[in-house]
Amino acid sequence: MSAVYTTDEYGRPFIIVREQDKKSRKTGIEAAKSHILAAKTVAGIVRTSLGPRGLDKIMISPDGDITITNDGATILQNMKVDNQIAKLLVDLSKSQDEEIGDGTTGIVVFAGALLEQAEELLDRGIHPVRISEGFEKACKIAVDHLDSVSDTIHWTKDDTSNLFKCAKTSLGSKIVNKCHDQFANMAVDAVLSVADLERKDVDFELVKVEGKVGGELADSQIIFGVVVDKDFSHPQMPKEIKDARICILTCPFEPPKPKTKHKLDITSVSEYKSLQDYERKAFEDMISKVKESGSNLVVCQWGFDDEANHLLLAHKLPAIRWVGGPEIELIAIATSGRIVPRFEDLSSEKLGTAGTVREITFGTNNEKMIVIENCANPKAVTALIRGGNKMIVDEAKRSLNDAMCVVRNLIRDNRVVYGGGAVEIACSLAVFKQADKISTIEQYAMRGFSQALDAIPLTLAENSGLEPIETLSELKSTQLETGNFRLGVDCMSTGSNDMREQFVFDPLISKRQQLLLATQLVKMILKIDDVIVHSAGEN
């Protein structure tokens, strides 16, 4: 390390370390290429997770927590990515996840392939701006073509079989694939019960996905109401309450306690007794106040001691204690009750109502949960996921969430395109055809785009153990010959390439979003031609 020893204007010595001032700088094509390399590396990681036969990844966090998943967005979010451009790819998958909830792996694989094509075009000496323009044109053609190869899925409130099939397809690659049907049914039931069919919208806030370790995946169920991971405060309280009128308290509910900060002198047994009587009396007053309001169940955010618990039992007022803040809110929404923050504010209008509140136990172990059903507001559902360990429960929660997103997307817009790479092949052919009609240099970029689209069927074939290039060329030529745009990769070896028969659909909005977002990102990366990294201490 070279350092210069010098003095300032007052004669005080100081040292200049040369390297502090050093920057590493990449410009032009070199910059673009280094970005492409970073992005390709990220895409390469999630590649093997695409499709129904995609493999899972295991991620271990710094504190030893383990996540097993094949969900692109989750993989990328759990990865520690330092490179800024690679981070953009992580964000890309995140935005697809937030807007659509599905297709998070596909979008990264496609963006990676598009960048790979861009690299080749740069090598051929085509200017990045021209590449961007070509990609833009090709993307427009592909997106327009999506409409012409789309189909509509018919469903009604009474006939949801098609929604069910789509949900099932989305679960195909997930850990839950042993209980496909059950999870698909759960997804459809949960989404439909909170959906506003007139406005074609679904409020996901009303769906709570709750996991409880233990039992099997097959024990998972949808509960039309709220599930709280608690039990009644006393084991002798009734296990089921009909026509519950619930008092929701966020203030303490127990006998008043002498504050330890203040000095309290008790000099005789009788004084002690009178204090005890006072406490008991005050709490009994509280209990009768609750009962006078018409309530027959107390849900309290705070805890209370054995004495209070005993009094509650004696006065036949069941209670649930230590209920968390979010649950309290959900109970209030579901039962149309009001949260009571100060005990004096309690009144009968503030009570929430529910048809039944019952305690459920699981198997032979002593685990209990409270289920609040037939609530005043029927639009609240909970999916209760069971599974052997936390990793399975977490992955099952994510899978159910994906399936629910598919159903929600179909409620919003029931147009679909065929999956298994079928739609990508159709778009690839369309773009390739149009490229021939362009006389300018953009035609190369358009052909590149068309080849990038092929990455999806190629990857699907590769991940399913098929010969990728052979599969793709066969599918392409058959699609071109027959005009049947439903032909895709037969990942599950069913013997048919017709994706309609296999019910492999992707929502049109999801595919459109994938193409648009990925193209936008690639264009952005291509526009960057200068990277200045200040790296202290580097030679």
Which residues does the annotation mark as catalytic? 71, 104-105, 402
| Nearer to ligand ADP (CB atom), residue 110 or residue 155 | 110
Q: Which window, 48-56, 117-125, 336-344, 380-388, contacts ligand ADP (CB under 6 A)?
A: 48-56
CA–centroid distance for 188 within its chain: 17
281-290: long-range contacts at Cβ-Cβ below 8 A with a sequence spacing of 24 or more? 282/255, 282/256, 283/254, 283/255, 283/256, 283/308, 283/311, 284/311, 284/315, 286/253, 286/343, 287/311, 287/312, 287/315, 287/317, 288/315, 289/343, 289/346, 290/247, 290/317, 290/346
Candidate list 117, 162, 169, 414; residue touching ligand ADP; CB under 6 A: 169
In the complex, minimum distance from the CB of residue 361 to ligand ADP, in angstroms, rounded to a whole number: 36
Candidate list 420, 448, 468, 507; residue touching ligand ADP; CB under 6 A: 420
Candidate list 38, 416, 435, 489; residue touching ligand ADP; CB under 6 A: 489
| Contact criterion met (CB below 8 Å) for 183 and 400 | yes
| Nearer to ligand ADP (CB atom), residue 48 or residue 434 | 48
DSSP 469-521: HHHHHHHHHHHHHH--TTB---TT--S--BHHHHT-EEEHHHHHHHHHHHHHH
CA geometry: angle 240, 242, 245, nearest 5 deg: 110
What the block records as the tokens of 414 is: 């029931």
Cross-strand bridge partners of residue 201:
196
CA distances in angstroms from 177 to 180, 183, 221, listed in the order given: 5, 9, 16
Per CB under 6 A, does 172 bind ligand ADP?
yes
Per CB under 6 A, does 506 bind ligand ADP?
yes
Main-chain phi, psi angles of 532, to 5 degrees: -115, 115
Candidate list 360, 492, 528, 531; residue touching ligand ADP; CB under 6 A: 492
Q: Which window, 51-59, 160-168, 180-188, 342-350, contacts ligand ADP (CB under 6 A)?
A: 51-59
Instruction: Tell me the chain's radius of gyration from C-alpha atoms.
Output: 31
Q: Which window, 75-83, 112-120, 169-177, 194-202, contacts ligand ADP (CB under 6 A)?
A: 169-177
In the complex, minimum distance from the CB of residue 174 to ligand ADP, in angstroms, rounded to a whole number: 8
Per CB under 6 A, does 51 bind ligand ADP?
yes
Cross-strand bridge partners of residue 358:
240, 371
E-only strand ranges, 149-194? 151-152
Per CB under 6 A, does 507 bind ligand ADP?
no
E-only strand ranges, 92-167? 151-152
In the complex, minimum distance from the CB of residue 91 to ligand ADP, in angstroms, rounded to a whole number: 16
| Contact criterion met (CB below 8 Å) for 68 and 56 | yes
d(Cα 238, Cα 316) in Å, to the nearest integer? 9
| Nearer to ligand ADP (CB atom), residue 106 or residue 225 | 106
What is the three-class DSSP state of 255?
coil
Q: Which window, 44-52, 175-183, 285-293, 341-349, contacts ligand ADP (CB under 6 A)?
A: 44-52
Closest alpha carbon to 369 in 254, 219, 176, 181:
219
Candidate list 101, 103, 255, 448; residue touching ligand ADP; CB under 6 A: 103
Provide CB contacts within 8 A for 474, sequence distance 6+. none
Candidate list 101, 112, 419, 507; residue touching ligand ADP; CB under 6 A: 419
In the complex, minimum distance from the CB of residue 135 to ligand ADP, in angstroms, rounded to a whole number: 21
Q: Which window, 194-202, 228-236, 277-285, 489-497, contacts ligand ADP (CB under 6 A)?
A: 489-497
| Nearer to ligand ADP (CB atom), residue 225 or residue 420 | 420
What is the three-class DSSP state of 187?
helix
| Contact criterion met (CB below 8 Å) for 511 and 419 | no
d(Cα 460, Cα 53) in Å, to the nearest integer? 8
Q: How many chain residues bind ligand ADP (CB under 6 A)?
A: 27
d(Cα 233, Cα 13) in Å, to the nearest integer? 72
Per CB under 6 A, does 171 bind ligand ADP?
no
Q: Which residue has the CB atom at the shortest distance from ligand ADP?
A: 419
Q: Which window, 68-76, 191-199, 300-308, 326-334, contacts ligand ADP (CB under 6 A)?
A: 68-76
| Nearer to ligand ADP (CB atom), residue 52 or residue 352 | 52
In the complex, minimum distance from the CB of residue 175 to ligand ADP, in angstroms, rounded to a whole number: 12
Candidate list 453, 491, 508, 525; residue touching ligand ADP; CB under 6 A: 491
Candidate list 76, 86, 106, 466; residue touching ligand ADP; CB under 6 A: 106
Candidate list 47, 75, 86, 102; residue touching ligand ADP; CB under 6 A: 102
| Nearer to ligand ADP (CB atom), residue 75 or residue 287 | 75
Distance between first and last Cα of the chain: 8
In the complex, minimum distance from the CB of residue 117 to ligand ADP, in angstroms, rounded to a whole number: 19
Per CB under 6 A, does 104 bind ligand ADP?
yes
In the complex, minimum distance from the CB of residue 355 to ligand ADP, in angstroms, rounded to a whole number: 38
What is the three-class DSSP state of 236?
coil
Q: Which window, 100-108, 258-266, 434-442, 515-523, contacts ligand ADP (CB under 6 A)?
A: 100-108
Residues in contact with ligand ADP by CB under 6 A are 49-52, 54, 70-72, 102-106, 169, 172-173, 419-420, 456, 460, 488-489, 491-492, 502, 504, 506
